Amino acid sequence: MSPNRSDRQRAARRWVIKVGSTLLTRPGGGLALEAIGDWVRQMSELAGRGIEPILVSSGAVAAGMGRLGWAQRPSAIHDLQAAAAVGQSGLVEAYEHRFNAHGRLAAQVLLTHDDLSDRRRYINARNTLRTLIGLRVIPVVNENDTVITEEIRFGDNDTLAALVANLVEADMLVILTDSPGLFEADPRLDPHAGLVSEGEAGDPSLLAAAGGAGSKVGTGGMRTKVLAAQRAARSGTGTAIAAGTEADILPRLGQGETVGTFLHPGRDALVARKQWLANQLQVKGRIYVDDGAARVIREEGRSLLPVGVVDVAGNFQRGEVVACIDPDGREICRGLVSYAAPEVRRLAGQLTDRIGEVLGYVDTEEIIHRDDLAVL
C-alpha cells in the first residue's frame, strides 16, 4: 500500500478523535475524569505540534445514567433524552476545565442527523467547525441526544465520527476503544485470533471478522467501527482503531507507531472529494466568471470570490453543485456554492469586504471555497 500506515499517520494534520462510552465512564457510574484529563493532555500536545484535533465524545447518556443511578442503558427515547440532559453539562464541563488547564479553548457542537442531511444545515455545521479549527479552538462534538427521535438519530457515535470526518475532510479518524484493535476473529471465542495491523476499509473480510455487540453503556461494537471506517473512506480518510487505555496512544499514532489497527481509505482525501464533485451529473446552475477568476481557478485551484463573478444562471440553493463557465463558454470547474443564486447575483463583481454591506450578513468570503471545488 502506498503510502504506508506510518507515513499516513505522520502526515495527518486534521484528526477526528472518537472516545467511546466505555472508556469515559467508571464501572460504578459517573465520568472517568482522570482518563479524560489524560486524553485532553494528549490532544493538547497534538495541537501544539500543529495538528487540528476534533473530538467526538460519547458519554452524555452514560454520565447521566451514573447521576441517575441507572445500571442499564435505557431503550426508550424519552429516557435517553433525560439521561443526556442530566449528563451533558457535566461532560462538557469536564472537557472545558481540562482543556483550559492546558491553555486551550474547547467548544461544544451538538449535531443531529438532520444537520448533516439538510444542505443548508450541513454547510452551517461545516462552516462552524472550520471557523473553530481556524481559531485553534478544539470542537467537542456529540449527538444532540436531548432532542433526538428514533428517525433522526445516528445510532452510535462511531457513525457520527465518520460523518464528521467527511464534513471537515479529515486526514485521519481515530477511534479509541477498550480493545487493542480489530482482530481476525472474536478473541473472546478464539484466543489465537491475531490483531489486524492494517488493511483496506472496504475489505469485506474485515467486516465479517468484526462480529457484534457493544457494552452496557454504549451502542457500538467493532462492527460499527469498521462500518465507520468505510464511511470515512468515502472522503479519503484513513481510520485508526486503538485502545484508549494505551499510554500516550495519540502522540504515538502521530509519530507513526503501528499500534492498533489502521484501515486505509484506498484513495487520497482530496482526490476522493474532487472526484465526487467532478462526477456530479446534475448541476443546479451556472456561474459565469471573468478571465482572471478562470485563470486562478484553472492554474492554481483557488477559491471563487465575488469579484470574479460576471453572471448567474439558474435558481440554485446554498450547498448545491454549480458549474463555473469561463468567458469562452467552457466549463472549468464544479463546486458546492456558499450562497443562493439571488445572493450571488447581488454579489457579482463585488470585493469581499462588501459582502456584509450588500447582503446584510457574511457567511464566508468565497462563493465557492477551493476545498469544495473540482477543476475539470
Instruction: Please tell me which residue, 117 or 178, carries the higher pLDDT value.
Output: 178
CA distance readout (Å), 68 to 62, 72, 74, 183 = 10, 11, 12, 35
Asked whether residue 268 carries a pLDDT value surpassing 70, the answer given is: no
Rounded CA separation 324/375 (Å): 9
pLDDT value, residue 119: 62
Instruction: Please tell me which residue, 58 or 284, carries the higher pLDDT value.
Output: 284
This prediction has a pTM of: 0.73
Give phi and psi for 157, each to the nearest 5. -80, -10
Ramachandran region, residue 179 (left: φ > 0; alpha: ψ -120 to 50; beta: rest): beta
Question: What is the average pLDDT score of the chain?
Answer: 86
What's the average model confidence in pLDDT over 30-41? Answer: 92
CATH 2.30.130.10 residue ranges of the chain are 280-375
Asked whether residue 123 carries a pLDDT value surpassing 90, the answer given is: no
pLDDT value, residue 26: 80
CATH 3.40.1160.10 residue ranges of the chain are 5-271
Instruction: Please tell me which residue, 192 or 108, carries the higher pLDDT value.
Output: 108
Rounded CA separation 357/355 (Å): 5
Rounded CA separation 140/250 (Å): 16
Asked whether residue 213 carries a pLDDT value surpassing 60, the answer given is: no
pLDDT value, residue 303: 95
Instruction: Please tell me which residue, 276 or 158, carries the higher pLDDT value.
Output: 158
Q: Do the bridges between strand 331-336 and strand 373-375 make them parallel or antiparallel, or are there none, so unpaired? A: antiparallel
**280-375 maps to which CATH number?**
2.30.130.10
Asked whether residue 361 carries a pLDDT value surpassing 90, the answer given is: yes
Asked whether residue 215 carries a pLDDT value surpassing 60, the answer given is: no
What's the average model confidence in pLDDT over 66-70? Answer: 84
Asked whether residue 121 carries a pLDDT value surpassing 80, the answer given is: no
pLDDT value, residue 109: 92
Strand partners of residue 173: 16, 239
What's the average model confidence in pLDDT over 248-265? Answer: 95
Asked whether residue 15 carries a pLDDT value surpassing 70, the answer given is: yes
Evaluate the omega torsion of the peptide bond into residue 3 and state whether it is cis, within 30 degrees of 0.
Answer: yes
pLDDT value, residue 151: 37
- Report the CATH architecture of 5-271: 3-Layer(aba) Sandwich (3.40)
Percent of the chain topping pLDDT 90: 50
pLDDT value, residue 278: 66
